[in-house]
Structure 1
Amino acid sequence: MLSILVPGGSGQLGQDLAALAPEAATPSSSELNVRDTGQVVAAVTELADRARATGTSPVVINAAAYTAVDAAETDEERAFAVNADGPRVLAAACSSRGVPLIHVSTDYVFAGDATSPYEPGDLLGPLNAYGRTKAAGEDALLGSGARSWIVRTSWVYGKTGANFVKTMARLEKEREELSVVDDQTGSPTWSRDLAAGLLELAGRIAAGEGPSQRVLHCTGGGSTTWFGFAKAIFAELGADPARVKPCTTAEFPRPAARPAYGVLSNASWREAGLTPLRDWSDALKAYFAS
């Protein structure tokens, strides 16, 4: 049995973790500021004490993150505070109390110039402020001495918060045609599937079977472009996918550069004996069915 603390519990991943593990403590970022050492120490101490009193195993799953990719270009200091300083504070508190920590990271730590799926040990090269702050958070954990695991994922969507699926559903109602970039490739990941994977990892860690590899990749299976993803969303909405038109990144400029290729290899996840997530298209169908 587990005693779980999920900083960032009000986000789309945090809410799915709460749904799958209703016994978990899932404070929002306003209730638990991961940058506040006092708050973090108190929360981790309470978790460790509760676990000891109930004979359960404590684990922290950090879902707190600054994820506004474009806004981070002009707000990098705040993004760094959440994405790098926050994990550093959590790692210190977990280390001092012997609590394992699982931290969620992103494909945006890579440059996107690969031609085959990225492995966990591949060279980092973030293209934007968001990616730089997430890479710094990974460095903070790996250098902390805490029993910690980093789980990189990509293109996450869920029922709450702002995400690509919800944006496409809104725009389908507002526009007759829609242009979506077709030269960026990645693996869409339903936050509920990711939450299930993180809980499986937490259970393995609690059983003393935590993977020896400290950085793992966990995404929906397969890959597509944003254009392909948008067409699939329209199909699930019962709309004509032909209303979605392809365009290039150059035709749709954004403040933050995006990696052209962000597919992550899930081999490390499988090699750790963990259940691979289903194919992204199957997950999307299940998302709409639910």
Structure 2
Amino acid sequence: MGNRRPSRTPNTQSKPPSSHKTKKPTDQTTGSHKGHQQQQQLLLPPPKLLTYTLPPLNWPSTLPYLASNHVSAQLEPEQLSLLSPAAVTASLSIPTLATYAPTRNPLVQIKQIADPAHPVYPQHGLFATRYIPAGTHIIDYTGLVHVCPQAECAMSDYDLAFLDRDAGLAIDGALMGNEGRFVNDWHGVREEGPNAVFEEYFVKAKDKGKEVWQARMGIWAKPVSSTERSVSGIAKGSEICVGYGKGWWRARRGLMELVEEKSEADLVIEDAGTSMQET
């Protein structure tokens, strides 16, 4: 399979490799990733979060642009409570009210991949328009929040597991979303590895006139850690890349094997039919 994803139509499925990102088990009370406490402390939540509402340049005209997630009406009350908990103990949270700005996100730009050697050429990627310091919140990953069993999500290019894994929630950016759906995997793009990470966080937001906690999936510039002191942020013009995780690649490899097996079976049936006609 290499690193290339199944081909997509630039205007409707042009999310660079976005995908299902398999994540580590989450803390079911806070939604925070177990084992990620050190990383969370190194991420830098802004004192006040700006959510940009204007679609960017090169946004597919056929897809609705979402500044925040659209929640499926099929979610159960228990699942909805995860999206908007009464109280938050997670360390990665922004207690000030989120503000919506009717402008484009100034940190990122969707661009068509020009390098034929790129794994998703000639599709699209997400690029930094300026230097982004390590640990900075870049943008959210938005889409349809729905129930997606892990086995099904593993076959999706745009479903991202969200919050409590046992609840089966995912964010699907296939048919709606924002710039986050254009983030590619780092394999075949950056020898240094990913320069950004997915991480859930909580922020105060207005809902029906009330201030409530709201769970979101953020894309953050990779934080500096004790083992990776070379991380220094994302340079202007660089492609923003994350790691989809081994689960995504295993699922993708399995899907490709199924396609190959089906193709071989079809050829056998076709050959058998031809032989019968000849006799």
TM-score for both structures, normalised by structure 1: 0.26
The structure richer in helix per residue is 1
**Greater relative CO, 1 or 2 (CA 8 Å, sep 6+):** 2
TM-score for both structures, normalised by structure 2: 0.27
